[in-house]
């Protein structure tokens, strides 16, 4: 391949390697290389700069390869490449001379491959020779989503993903899903979409990777820095100013990914409180459906490349550096509660002062976006703020979201506004009461059947005409007599509902009789009802009667009898059937039931809202407690690691000191020099063997004052000389003679530390003979 040094506006050709000139930045635009100078005061990260331009130029066709090198240049760039659907390859650190750059990319979790250089070449060739899924321009819907031909296969993949993650990707943008699937097809070398679907069915690990690819959240601190500055002064300042000291400030960071956005907002709140000189209880709920991203966010530890996004002042104030990592300060970390949360199925947070949902809706189809705005409408306080991404807008719902900063996508919520097509989704709220059918029954199945059989027998003995027995839901549980003139099976789906079976001429009388019978606990009879039957017109009486239980108490069973022969002495309420009067009574009964049902429904809704609020509060408290425990555990782990590091350092120092002590002891014992160390109170600290003979010293004399010890120099006032040296700090050197006649050189000098402080004296005795001096005969 031809190797060239790039020049400005050079056209990119196949099979050519282009080198960036020293001290220059290079980008690619419309197939040409653009060179520029590095701006003064900015970090020199040319690879990040090029990767960003490559991602915007080539999108899903881009391949970013990070080879051997030091530092973290390229890490931010591969995030953008991945966000645009490109492929990322990192060199295997074991094959790299300098593994800093590939290791930094690998730690992001975005690398599709980690390979040796030879294997990288093979994968790039495979990528270039494999055709992408063909999605022609005409095969796109009005909103830009691809209309894919293999719908059944794609539906099967959706089902696999939902079964594994609990997330329904059906209404995610089709083009985004297909790009992610397409990338995995290339990585796994699958021959077709069908082969890849079979792979997903067999390999759960690949399912997890695809879910991670679809949910990939590429973010950074203060992404679009000017947007965050506007947010600080146009939203956060106002929230802090209007909040009272005891009122909590509640913020929801939806789709927080690995946490950079949530920490950025927390830093802005802290800066606003510091500048306004107030204290507020700020609680930021940062949520995402990706549990791995949430777990990483909760640690609050980031690589060194965050220096590209955070000013030095903020980095020094809100982060602690350890080796090549930065840890968020405890002050900022305590503001945030991280949790796994699906905004379309889990209950939303409520009474929020602000919602930040940036670059999330770009992955959704319109139906999900409408649902999301409905959630925001119900969750935000009146005059709360909504912060969206650069490519997102709420202007479609101007009645409820008033534009504050149009370019920066900051909106003010109007709680009184209404939009008809905003319908909140149904959330999974745990049941307050779960009643097992089996446990709700007062008797066992066999015992219940025996009771019913006994009841039926007694009933048959009293009544032989055509009749039915109904349960409390008006379902027929038993037929008696010749009922075919009054009950017929309706066409369509089979049902045993009494009012689906009964003759239309009897519907009004039967419904009124049943309602009165159950309400008044008394038999109700309507006489002289004209019925057009299959066998001809008949005039009958209709009776509704509650069937008593075996204990004589009320029962849920009711009998309806069709009496063709007049009977005397009918018990209960007996009325001649009048259509108008019966209809009026029935209408009144239905209105009363409707009012009761409405009242019950309102009460139930209120109870559910109360319970839902309590559940949300309890859930938030549990999440907060869990996060605090997790934070405490992380702090303890951090302290443990620091103690381990300090202990290791101390052990190394101890080994060094031991070695030095051994060296010094061997040096002193091998010389013919006597050395005596005393402290400022003239107490003995240490001495050598040679001086011990002239001062009659032994090991147990350490710590004793020098003045009580005998020495071999009767003509010398060593104690007085020592005090004089301590006083004037001038050394004394002179020749002295021992009792045995040997001559020595005596030196008394101050003991100085490395800080030049006096900590005692050093008394040395040197044998003049060993020093080469002559001894008089």
List, for residues 373-392, the tens digit of each pLDDT value: 888 988 899 999 999 988 88
Q: Please tell me the predicted confidence (pLDDT) of residue 40.
A: 59
383: tokens are 């005059």
Query: If you average pLDDT over residues 295-316, what whole number do you get?
Result: 87
pLDDT reading at 115 higher than 70? yes
Measured CA to CA, the distance from residue 66 to residue 666 in angstroms comes to 55
User: In this structure, are residues 588 and 595 in contact, taking their beta carbons and an 8 Å threshold?
Assistant: no
Query: If you average pLDDT over residues 69-85, what whole number do you get?
Result: 84
Would you mind telling me the total number of residues written for the chain in this entry?
777
**pTM of the predicted model as reported, rounded to 2 decimal places:** 0.52
Measured CA to CA, the distance from residue 29 to residue 678 in angstroms comes to 79
Look at the alpha carbons of 591, 594, 599, 600 in this order and tell me if their dihedral is positive or negative. positive
Measured CA to CA, the distance from residue 205 to residue 211 in angstroms comes to 10
Give the model's confidence band at 352: pLDDT under 50 very low, under 70 low, under 90 confident, else very high: very high
Q: Of 768, 762, 692, which Cα lies nearest the Cα of 731?
A: 762
Higher pLDDT, 458 or 493: 493
Q: Please tell me the predicted confidence (pLDDT) of residue 437.
A: 36
pLDDT reading at 586 higher than 50? yes
The DSSP H or E segment spanning 586 is helix 579-670
Q: Please tell me the predicted confidence (pLDDT) of residue 425.
A: 56
Low-confidence winner among 36-45, 78-87, 655-664 (lowest mean pLDDT): 36-45
Give the model's confidence band at 619: pLDDT under 50 very low, under 70 low, under 90 confident, else very high: confident
Give the model's confidence band at 449: pLDDT under 50 very low, under 70 low, under 90 confident, else very high: low
User: In this structure, are residues 384 and 352 in contact, taking their beta carbons and an 8 Å threshold?
Assistant: yes
Low-confidence winner among 154-163, 375-384, 606-615, 689-698 (lowest mean pLDDT): 689-698
* Cα atoms found within 13 Å of the Cα of residue 493, Cβ hemisphere only: 1
List, edge to edge, every strand of the sheet that includes 758-767: 684-687, 673-678, 758-767, 743-752, 732-737
From the number of C-beta atoms within 10 Å of its C-beta (0-12, 13-18, 19+), residue 284 rates as buried
Q: Please tell me the predicted confidence (pLDDT) of residue 51.
A: 93
Q: Please tell me the predicted confidence (pLDDT) of residue 281.
A: 92
The β-bridge relationship of strands 63-66 and 87-91 is: parallel
Give the model's confidence band at 421: pLDDT under 50 very low, under 70 low, under 90 confident, else very high: low
Measured CA to CA, the distance from residue 306 to residue 311 in angstroms comes to 10
* Residue-wise DSSP of 463-513: --SEEEEE-TTSBEEEEESS-TTTB-PPSSS---BHHHHB-GGGHHHHHHH
C-alpha 408: how far from its chain's center?
A: 25
User: In this structure, are residues 200 and 178 in contact, taking their beta carbons and an 8 Å threshold?
Assistant: no
Query: If you average pLDDT over residues 430-451, what whole number do you get?
Result: 42
Query: Helix (H, G, I), strand (E, B), or coil: what is residue 437?
Result: helix
Query: Helix (H, G, I), strand (E, B), or coil: what is residue 320?
Result: strand
Per-residue DSSP letter, 106: H
Instruction: Report the mean per-residue pLDDT for the chain.
Output: 82
Low-confidence winner among 64-68, 459-463, 667-671 (lowest mean pLDDT): 459-463
Contacts of 71 (CB under 8 A, 6+ apart): 100, 101, 104, 304
Residues 643-688: tens digit of each pLDDT: 888 888 898 899 899 898 888 778 777 776 888 889 988 998 888 8
Low-confidence winner among 4-8, 365-369, 494-498, 695-699 (lowest mean pLDDT): 695-699
Measured CA to CA, the distance from residue 686 to residue 757 in angstroms comes to 19
Per-residue DSSP letter, 21: P
User: In this structure, are residues 74 and 57 in contact, taking their beta carbons and an 8 Å threshold?
Assistant: no
Residue 517: CB atoms within 10 A of its CB come to: 22
User: In this structure, are residues 212 and 169 in contact, taking their beta carbons and an 8 Å threshold?
Assistant: no
User: In this structure, are residues 148 and 156 in contact, taking their beta carbons and an 8 Å threshold?
Assistant: no
The percent of residues in the chain predicted with pLDDT above 90, rounded, is: 22
The DSSP H or E segment spanning 561 is strand 558-563
Per-residue DSSP letter, 61: G
119: tokens are 């294997």
Contacts of 500 (CB under 8 A, 6+ apart): 490
User: In this structure, are residues 314 and 268 in contact, taking their beta carbons and an 8 Å threshold?
Assistant: no
Contacts of 433 (CB under 8 A, 6+ apart): none
Radius of gyration of the chain (CA): 45
User: In this structure, are residues 80 and 51 in contact, taking their beta carbons and an 8 Å threshold?
Assistant: yes
Query: If you average pLDDT over residues 690-716, what whole number do you get?
Result: 79
Give the model's confidence band at 573: pLDDT under 50 very low, under 70 low, under 90 confident, else very high: confident
The β-bridge relationship of strands 466-470 and 558-563 is: antiparallel
Measured CA to CA, the distance from residue 231 to residue 353 in angstroms comes to 13
User: In this structure, are residues 103 and 164 in contact, taking their beta carbons and an 8 Å threshold?
Assistant: no
Query: If you average pLDDT over residues 118-133, what whole number do you get?
Result: 79
Give the model's confidence band at 420: pLDDT under 50 very low, under 70 low, under 90 confident, else very high: low
Measured CA to CA, the distance from residue 734 to residue 92 in angstroms comes to 72
């Amino acid at each position: 391949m031809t190797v060239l040094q790039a020049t400005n506006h050079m056209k990119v050709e196949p099979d050519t390697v282009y080198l960036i000139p020293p001290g220059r930045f290079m980008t690619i635009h419309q197939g040409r290389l653009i060179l520029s100078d590095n701006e003064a005061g900015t970090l020199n990260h040319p690879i990040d700069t090029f990767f960003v331009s490559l991602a915007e130029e080539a999108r899903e066709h881009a391949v970013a390869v990070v080879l051997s090198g030091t530092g973290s240049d390229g890490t931010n760039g591969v995030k953008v490449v991945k966000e645009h659907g490109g492929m990322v390859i990192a060199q295997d650190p074991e094959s790299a001379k300098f593994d800093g750059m590939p290791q930094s990319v690998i730690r992001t979790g975005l690398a599709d491959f980690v390979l040796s250089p030879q294997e990288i070449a093979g994968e790039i060739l495979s990528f270039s020779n494999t055709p992408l899924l063909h999605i022609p321009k005409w095969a796109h819907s009005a909103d830009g989503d691809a209309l894919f031909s293999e719908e059944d296969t794609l539906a099967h993949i959706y089902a696999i993903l939902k079964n594994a993650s609990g997330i329904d990707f059906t209404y995610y943008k089709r083009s985004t899903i297909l790009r992610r699937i397409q990338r995995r097809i290339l990585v796994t070398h699958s021959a077709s979409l069908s082969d890849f679907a079979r792979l997903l069915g067999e390999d759960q690990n690949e399912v997890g990777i695809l879910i991670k690819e679809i949910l990939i959240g590429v973010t950074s601190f203060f992404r679009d820095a000017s947007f965050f500055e506007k947010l600080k002064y146009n939203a956060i300042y106002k929230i802090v100013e209007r909040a009272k000291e005891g009122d909590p400030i509640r913020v929801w960071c939806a789709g927080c990914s690995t946490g950079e956005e949530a920490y950025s907002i927390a830093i802005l709140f802290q800066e606003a409180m510091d500048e306004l000189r107030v204290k507020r209880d700020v609680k930021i709920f940062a949520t995402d459906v990706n549990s791995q991203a949430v777990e990483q966010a909760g640690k609050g530890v980031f690589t060194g490349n965050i220096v590209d996004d955070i000013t030095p002042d903020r980095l020094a104030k809100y982060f602690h550096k350890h080796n090549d990592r930065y840890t968020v300060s405890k002050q900022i970390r305590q503001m945030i509660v991280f949790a796994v949360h699906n905004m379309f199925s889990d209950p939303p947070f409520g009474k929020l002062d602000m919602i930040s949902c940036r670059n999330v809706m770009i992955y959704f189809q319109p139906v999900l976006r409408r649902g999301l705005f409905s959630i925001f409408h119900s969750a935000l306080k009146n005059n709360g703020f909504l912060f969206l991404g650069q490519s997102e807008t709420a202007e479609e719902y101007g009645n409820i979201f008033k534009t504050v900063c149009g370019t920066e996508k900051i909106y003010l919520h109007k709680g009184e506004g209404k939009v008809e097509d905003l319908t909140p989704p149904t959330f999974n709220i745990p049941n307050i009461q779960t009643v097992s059918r089996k446990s709700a029954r007062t008797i066992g199945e066999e015992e219940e059947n025996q009771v019913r059989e006994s009841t039926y027998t007694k009933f048959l003995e009293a009544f032989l005409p055509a009749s039915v027995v109904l349960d409390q839901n008006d379902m027929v549980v038993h037929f008696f007599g010749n009922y075919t003139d009054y009950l017929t099976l309706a066409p369509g789906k089979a049902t045993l509902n009494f009012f689906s079976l009964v003759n239309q001429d009897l519907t009004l009388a039967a419904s009124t009789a049943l309602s009165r019978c159950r309400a008044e606990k008394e038999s109700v009879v309507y006489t002289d009802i004209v019925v057009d039957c299959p066998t001809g017109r008949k005039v009958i009486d209709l009776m509704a009667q509650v069937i008593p239980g075996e204990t004589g108490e009320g029962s849920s069973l009711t009998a309806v009898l069709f009496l063709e022969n007049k009977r005397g002495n009918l018990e209960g309420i007996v009325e001649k059937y009048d259509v108008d009067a019966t209809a009026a009574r029935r209408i009144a009964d239905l209105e009363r039931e409707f009012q009761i049902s409405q009242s019950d429904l309102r009460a139930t809704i209120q109870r559910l809202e109360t319970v839902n609020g309590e559940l949300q509060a309890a859930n938030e408290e549990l999440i907060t407690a869990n996060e605090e425990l997790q934070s405490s555990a992380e702090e303890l782990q951090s302290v443990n690691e620091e103690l381990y590091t300090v202990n290791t350092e101390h052990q190394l120092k101890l080994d060094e000191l031991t070695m030095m002590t051994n060296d010094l002891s061997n040096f002193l014992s091998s010389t013919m020099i006597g050395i005596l160390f005393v402290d400022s109170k003239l107490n003995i600290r240490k001495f050598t063997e040679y001086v011990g003979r002239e001062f009659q010293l032994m090991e147990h004399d350490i710590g004793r004052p020098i003045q009580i010890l005998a020495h071999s120099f009767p003509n010398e006032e060593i104690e007085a000389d020592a005090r004089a040296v301590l006083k004037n700090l001038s050394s004394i050197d002179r020749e002295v003679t021992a009792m045995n006649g040997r001559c020595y050189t005596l030196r008394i000098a101050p003991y100085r530390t490395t800080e030049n402080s006096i900590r005692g004296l050093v008394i040395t005795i040197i044998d003049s003979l060993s020093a080469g001096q002559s001894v008089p005969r």
